């Protein structure tokens, strides 16, 4: 499981409107619901928020990776959202985030979940990639940056 297979252009959103962690999480979840990737929104939200309460998924370099596991899913699903404005996400480096990657996976399938998170963390060590994403003008551009 990698970014290219988990994301589609309809699971990429530019210009997120949320100004809080909860608003961003809900907005990302709406992307997955609209794309028919998540059928049980309340269960998905509970899984994400449960994980978030254990430890913030705000990473470093303006990136947050809200994620969770739910028995209501058959396969890993993911979306990416980019905000024009920095959002406080309780990140490890105490910096606000603008790039958000949400992933949800089935409870019993650990491998794809860990592989996906590892790939995401590697990708975003590159300041060049982060800047390309922040400057992308379309979902197609985001997809292209992630595919390179």
Interval 18-71: pLDDT, tens: 999 999 999 999 999 999 999 999 999 999 999 999 998 999 899 999 999 999
Mode of pairing for the β-strands spanning 77-87 and 97-105: antiparallel
Phi-psi region of 102 (alpha: psi -120 to 50; beta: other; left: phi over 0): beta
pLDDT digits (tens, 9 = 90+) for 92-102: 999 999 999 99
pLDDT at 144: 87
Q: By 3-state DSSP, what share of the chain in percent is helix, strand and coil, each rounded to 5?
A: 45, 20, 35
pLDDT at 49: 96
Q: Which residue of the set 61, 67, 94, 113 is catalytic?
A: 67
The model scores a pTM over 0.85: yes
Confidence bin at 6 (pLDDT 50/70/90): confident
Q: Is 67 assigned a catalytic role?
A: yes
Domains in the chain, ordered, with CATH? 3-147 (3.40.930.10)
7 Cβ neighbours under 8 A, 6+ residues apart: 78, 79, 80, 143, 146
Backbone angles phi, psi at 66, to 5 degrees: -60, 130
């Amino acid at each position: 499981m990698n970014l290219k297979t988990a994301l589609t252009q309809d699971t990429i959103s530019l210009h997120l409107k949320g100004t809080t962690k909860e608003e961003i999480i809900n907005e990302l979840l709406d992307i997955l619901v609209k794309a028919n990737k998540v059928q049980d929104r309340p269960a998905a939200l509970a899984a994400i928020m449960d994980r978030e309460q254990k430890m913030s998924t705000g990473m470093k370099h303006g990136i947050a990776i809200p994620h969770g596991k739910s028995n209501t899913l058959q396969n890993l699903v993911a979306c990416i959202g980019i905000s024009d404005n920095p959002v406080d996400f309780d990140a490890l480096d105490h910096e606000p985030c603008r790039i958000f990657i949400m992933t949800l996976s089935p409870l019993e399938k650990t491998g794809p979940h860990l592989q996906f998170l590892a790939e995401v963390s590697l990708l975003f060590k590159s300041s060049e990639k982060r800047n390309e994403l922040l400057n992308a003008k379309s979902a197609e551009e985001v997809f292209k940056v992630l595919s390179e």
